[in-house]
Amino acid sequence: MININLKGGIIIWLRRDLRIKENPVVHGAIKQKKKIIFCFVFDKNILDKLKNSSYRKCDTKSLTIDHRVGFLYQTLKEIKDQLSNIGSDLLTFYGDPVTIIPEIANKFCASSVYAANDYEPYGLERDKAVLKKLTFLGITFKQFKNQCIFEKSEILTNSLTPYTVFTPYKKKWIQIFEMHGIKPKYYGLDTLTKIIQSTEEKTQIESLEELEFSEDSLNLILKSGNSGGEQLFNRFLNIIDKYNDERNYPAKKGCSYLSVHLRFGTISIEKIVCKLFERIQLLKNTNNDTTGILSWLSEIIWRDFYMQILFNFPHVERGCFKKQYDNIEWENDLDLFDKWTKGETGYPIVDAGMRQLNQTGYMHNRLRMITASFLTKDLGISWQKGEEYFANKLLDFDLSANNGGWQWAASTGCDAQPYFRIFNPTTQSQKFDPNGQFIKKYIPELEPLSNRAIHEPWKEPKDDLLKKRYNYPDRIVKHDEARQKTLERFNKARAS
């Protein structure tokens, strides 16, 4: 390993804040005017879980294909290049960070380790263990808010309890932001150059094969790194006024596609929100419509909301927020679940969404609601099974948002969809993909069907259907019958 003596300097441990610019952790370190070195740990505990998942694909060498690891890998290479250009390096390690971080901090003679806050149960336990070891060594462990605007218990009700209903939380969130605001952590790389630890000898990032992941993981649908996040955000600012009108239509490119960048912290959430409020004020001053931008701001606030729910109510990681619904008697038919995962339910909009997920690692938000509702309400399968499948497939997987979304759809979470409001997959399809444009992209065997028939292929005359749709399956449940079973299931749980 490269020989470094920080002489009381700072190790910046990058995690879910994978950028050099506009990073509160980096800004905090710069203010100390001490030598700085950046490091990243490929967490063996997390990577082993990915490799051992039954849902993972492997290449011919039996190496795991995971596009999140590919996104992460390319992002780290970009950071390494940026640091190399100013005479430093990004040090990467593979193993358990609870062991590695204290070891390198001690070896490099660092006085402090700086990192972003984590809010997930695993991250909290990991950081608690790291703190204990660093404290024993006499090394400071300082953490900064970085993934969200308001964290933990920063926004509370008048009775000083966490919010569990979104609308009043959103109102308080906006009120506090407008009162106090946030200043993004801007600084030039020239400032960083003056204090960063120079390294003549450059290290290499562990190869994907050394990590037991395939090069196929690098086949991404989005550009990674801070440069990719900035490009997407600038593109979205040009169309954000149409967001509220187009966000529910999966065939349109009306979304930001920034979720994976927010998940890995390749773009500053502070910068994004400040830009949004600047834009809102400009639109108000010129008497222009703010509906689109306010609609997207709500999605950003939902993200904070679910993070504080996970932090304040950690039982949601394993069970229902509304604990009475832990008593629901799910059917959990494994054959039906398998058909759902493969996009073979016979409901085109559901199947198209699942095939998009399986092929790209991305799923449009409207389709996440439709497919989740279908699994829990039409098939009677527990939300935990769907949540686990999404966790293993989504490029932008985030525990709090994934959990919150699934519990919302299953009607078991806080401020969730009422259990008696059940998405009809056919009407959802007719409303949000009226011409079947999205369906045809992912289910090409249905392309010969008319715009009307494509939403309900089971209604086609059997002879014509066989000619037109080839091997597309029959629907595996009838929605009206499944809806009645769901109502009975929830009523029974509520009465127990």
The token duo for 149 is 């605007």
Count of alpha carbons within 13 angstroms of residue 336, beta-carbon side? 21
> What are 115's strand-pairing partners?
13, 143
Report the C-alpha dihedral over residues 213, 218, 220, 224, rounded to 10 degrees: 110
DSSP H or E segment with residue 90: strand 90-95
Nearest-5° Cα angle at 276, 275 to 282: 90
Q: Is the pTM of this model over 0.85?
A: yes
Look at residue 141 in the predicted model and tell me its pLDDT.
98
Strands (E), 226-331: none
Asked if 468 and 458 touch (Cβ cutoff 8 Å), the reply is no
- Lookup: tokens for 99: 């062991």
pLDDT for res 465 = 58
Exposure of 389 by Cβ count < 10 A (0-12 exposed, 13-18 middle, 19+ buried)?
buried
What residues form DSSP beta bridges with 92?
40
- Sorted by sequence, the CB contacts under 8 Å of residue 75 that are 6+ apart come out as 18, 224, 225, 226, 264, 266
Res 120: pLDDT: 94
Pair type for strands 90-95 and 64-65: unpaired
The rounded Cα 473 to chain-centroid distance in angstroms is 31
Beta strand 36-43 with 90-95: parallel, antiparallel or unpaired?
Answer: parallel
Whole-angstrom distance, CA of residue 292 vs CA of residue 297: 9
CB 39 within 8 A of CB 26: no
The answer to whether 72 and 222 are in contact (CB under 8 A) is no
Which residues are CB-neighbours of 322 under 8 A, at least 6 positions away? Answer: 412, 413, 414, 416
User: Which amino acid is residue 425, in one-letter code?
Assistant: P
C-alpha 361/C-alpha 390 separation (Å) is 9
CA distance 397 to 478: 31
Q: Which residues of 254-291 are buried (b: 16+ CB within 10 A; e: fewer)?
A: bbbbbbbbbbbbbbbbbbbbbbbbebbeebeeeeeebe
What pLDDT is recorded for position 463? 64
What is the structure's pLDDT at 208? 95
Residue 318 sits at φ, ψ, to 5 deg, of -110, -30
**Residues of the chain with confidence (pLDDT) below 50:** none
Strand 64-65 and strand 140-144: the pairing is: unpaired
- The partner residues of 476 in beta bridges, in order of sequence, read none
Q: Where are the alpha helices (DSSP H) in 286-320?
A: 291-312
Taken in order 112, 113, 116, 121, the sign of the CA dihedral is negative
C-alpha count within 13 angstroms, C-beta hemisphere, residue 5: 1
pLDDT at 470: 61
Query: What whole-number distance in Å separates Cα of residue 312 and Cα of residue 124?
Result: 12
pLDDT at 236: 97
How confident is the model at residue 462, as a pLDDT?
Answer: 66
